[in-house]
Homo-oligomer: A and B are copies of this chain.
């Protein structure tokens, strides 16, 4: 069982709306703290939206997701897994970004994650826009051992560039990651792709390199079990990065995001997609593109926090080698 000091504060003892909000009411630890060295899974905020080509605000994501995550309890309602019993989990705070410095921020995040990796902490990152996934991957992966990826999103994020040649935006991270050898495209699965297209070059480029792109229509026709069986098959037991863009979910459920696309799955279905990752060797995960300024009710952050708990259960079990 995990260290008692890593147990989240219970809503039975301190009401959920009380206290300084950390991710899931976990201890907020910093490099150098005693608890840091004992941490197995660390939540990290990346409050930055400098790669956003459309509606901004994802820089406010980590703060609001922390707030709503204090409504999460400790035990999974289907599996009855308590991830806080499996692993020592903590809130590592935010990577310090530079709101007006794109390259600077990419460097800061990469450096941070190299350290996380060196410290043997499994990170669950909370964005921030989707460009943040690129420096995370730069910190965690390298050409000698490209990662697999299962990616839930309305968009492929495989574009070549925007606005006459800007390479780094939230629409390009995975093309960069593939080109940099951080991901093996043949072990990349993208699920939920939809929405009007510029010209489809992103999809064509991806498929040519072996990326498996499953559109929302395919998802609806085949169902989550079949889709995820294929995804599990593709990544096998390789080290797999999990990237969850909140716009995967329909904007009626998660309106607070930069580039919503209608016609997405509801939250129950989204939960099933994550639960079907059982057995996958997830070595890091992120949840990105929560934009609180476009989320007046806060529902998006509550959805995000709830999905983060699903992800945490997967990550914790993966960290323990899916023993249970």
Q: State the A residues within 8 Å of B (CB).
A: 10-22, 28, 45, 47, 49-57, 59-60, 62-63, 66-67, 71-78, 80, 82, 91, 93-94, 96-102, 104, 162-164, 166, 168-169, 193-200, 215-217, 220, 250-253, 255, 259-264, 266-268, 271, 293-297, 299, 302-303, 306, 309
Contacts and interface: CB of A to CB of B under 8 A. Distances in A.
B77 A194 contact: yes
A77 to B, nearest CB: 6
Given A12-B162, A100-B168, A262-B267, 15 more contacts: A11-B54, A15-B54, A16-B53, A18-B45, A18-B96, A63-B67, A76-B196, A77-B197, A98-B162, A98-B163, A98-B166, A250-B266, A252-B267, A260-B299, A293-B294
Given A56-B57, A99-B52, A263 B271 contact: yes
B259 A253 contact: no
Contact of A20 (B28, B198, B271): B28
Most chain B CB within 10 A, of A260, A295, A302, is at: A260
A252 B266 contact: yes
Q: Which of A99, A250, A263, A294 has most B Cβ within 10 Å?
A: A99
Contacts of A266: 250, 252, 263, 266
A20 to B, nearest CB: 5
Given A67-B67, A252-B266, A260-B302, A49 B56 contact: yes
The 4 A-B residue pairs with the shortest CB-CB distance in the complex, in nearest-first order: A293-B293, A73-B196, A263-B268, A262-B267
A18 B99 CA distance: 11
A320 to B, nearest CB: 19
A238 B262 CA distance: 31
A13 B297 CA distance: 30
Contacts of A10: 198
A234 B146 CA distance: 56
A46 to B, nearest CB: 9
A195 B309 CA distance: 10
Contacts of A162: 12, 98, 100
B53 A11 contact: yes
Contact of A255 (B259, B262, B299): B299
A12 B302 contact: no
Contacts of A263: 266-268, 271, 306
B15 A59 contact: yes
Q: Which of A18, A74, A267 has the most CB of B within 10 A?
A: A18
B12 A198 contact: yes
A21 B18 contact: no
27 contacts: A11-B198, A12-B198, A13-B163, A15-B47, A15-B96, A15-B97, A17-B47, A19-B93, A20-B21, A20-B28, A21-B66, A52-B99, A53-B99, A54-B71, A57-B293, A77-B196, A100-B102, A100-B162, A101-B102, A250-B252, A250-B266, A252-B253, A252-B266, A261-B306, A262-B302, A262-B306, A293-B294
